[in-house]
């Protein structure tokens, strides 16, 4: 029972982790929380559903097209909404992402309705035995995808010119621009990456839950909490925070009752902010004047 709950929690936490990483990546280079991150995932899930059910395309082809669509959506939001107000204060930027959230919610409800829709299950629904317990193959597949994407992100940030440039912009955007790094392009790339991660989360979680305009609301909240766990600047911290939330809420739901699952994440973040406000992996920044 315990092992099953832990592994299932890690599988759920891996999807929280992809959302948390997207929140951190955008925050590091724009200093704003993207409240529309969950809706990027929701749009990706709807597009994949259309490609599979209406157009009869292969699952992997549909996933690829959904990824491309969400990357384009992220770029579009940056160019049309965020770039014109890029120099505004954090509250203006935060409110703009809230506006995008409501717009995407409204558009999805207008096009596809508010009813929940089943996503085709592409894996064998028969659970398999893991550490003495039964676990959905969908959870294991999601964990494998999350690990692969995490490895790809590590390589990107560590070894590619664009990834190193993104890290430089995070550390000091003014100096990065003086050194010839195209900061505006890097910010555009950041939003494209947010769309990339969102598409995977939406398509991977859709067969396990459902597809609807509000499908990602709770996932976004927990992804944001995980990002705060890591200090909002640390990608490894966001991943660790997401996995902790996934495991803890699963254990709470299994041993205390399902009504304790959602509240667990908020109890964890309140305790963290009370004793370590900078997050698990955050550092206290000091400015000299």
DSSP annotation string for 15-45: HHHHHHHHHHHHHHHHSS--TTHHHHHHHHH
- What is the tens place of the pLDDT at every residue in 81-111? 999 998 888 899 999 999 999 999 999 999 9
Structural domain total, the chain: 1
255 assigned to some structural domain? no
Give me 2's structure tokens.
Answer: 């315990």
Instruction: Tell me how far apart the alpha carbons of residues 289 and 2 are, in angstroms, rounded to a whole number.
Output: 53
Instruction: Tell me how far apart the alpha carbons of residues 97 and 225 are, in angstroms, rounded to a whole number.
Output: 17
What 3-state DSSP class applies to 133? strand
247 assigned to some structural domain? no
Closest-CA residue to 240 (of 227, 250, 251): 227
231 assigned to some structural domain? no
84 assigned to some structural domain? yes
31 contacts 91 by C-beta, under 8 angstroms: no
Instruction: Tell me how far apart the alpha carbons of residues 13 and 146 are, in angstroms, rounded to a whole number.
Output: 10
Average pLDDT, the chain: 86
Instruction: Kindly tell me if the per-residue pLDDT of 66 is higher than 80.
Output: yes
pTM: 0.89
Closest-CA residue to 253 (of 262, 244, 245): 262
35 assigned to some structural domain? yes
Helices (DSSP H) in 50-136: which residue ranges?
59-77, 90-112
Print the domain residue range for 125. Answer: 2-218
- What is the tens place of the pLDDT at every residue in 210-255? 899 999 988 898 899 888 887 788 888 889 889 988 888 888 877 7
249 assigned to some structural domain? no
191 assigned to some structural domain? yes
235 assigned to some structural domain? no
- What is the tens place of the pLDDT at every residue in 160-217? 999 999 888 888 888 888 888 888 999 999 999 999 999 999 999 998 888 999 999 8
Instruction: Tell me how far apart the alpha carbons of residues 116 and 38 are, in angstroms, rounded to a whole number.
Output: 16
């Amino acid at each position: 029972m315990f092992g099953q709950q832990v592994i299932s929690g890690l599988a759920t936490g891996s999807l929280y982790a992809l959302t948390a990483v997207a929140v951190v990546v955008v925050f590091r280079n724009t200093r704003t929380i993207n409240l529309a991150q969950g809706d990027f995932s929701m749009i990706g899930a709807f597009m994949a559903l259309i490609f599979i059910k209406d157009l009869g395309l292969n699952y992997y082809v549909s996933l690829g097209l959904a990824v491309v669509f969400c990357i384009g959506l992220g770029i579009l939001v940056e160019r049309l909404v965020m770039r014109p107000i890029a120099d505004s204060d954090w509250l203006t930027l935060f409110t703009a992402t809230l506006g995008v959230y409501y717009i995407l919610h409204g558009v999805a409800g207008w096009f596809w309705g508010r009813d929940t829709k089943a996503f085709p299950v592409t894996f064998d629904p028969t659970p398999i035995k893991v550490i003495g317990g039964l676990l959905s193959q969908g959870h294991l597949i999601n964990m494998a995808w999350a690990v692969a994407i995490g490895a790809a992100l590590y390589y990107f940030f560590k070894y590619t010119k664009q990834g190193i440039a993104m890290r430089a912009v995070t550390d000091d955007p003014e100096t990065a621009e003086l050194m010839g790094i195209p900061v505006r392009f890097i910010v555009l790339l950041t939003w494209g990456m947010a769309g990339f991660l969102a598409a995977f989360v939406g398509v991977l979680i859709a067969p396990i839950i459902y597809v609807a305009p509000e499908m990602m609301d709770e996932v976004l909240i927990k992804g944001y909490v995980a990002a705060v766990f890591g200090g909002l600047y640390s990608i490894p911290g966001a991943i660790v925070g997401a996995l902790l939330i996934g495991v803890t809420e699963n254990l709470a739901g299994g041993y205390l009752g399902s009504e304790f699952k959602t509240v667990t994440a908020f109890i964890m973040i309140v305790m963290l902010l009370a004793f370590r406000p900078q997050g698990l992996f955050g550092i206290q920044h000091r400015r000299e004047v």
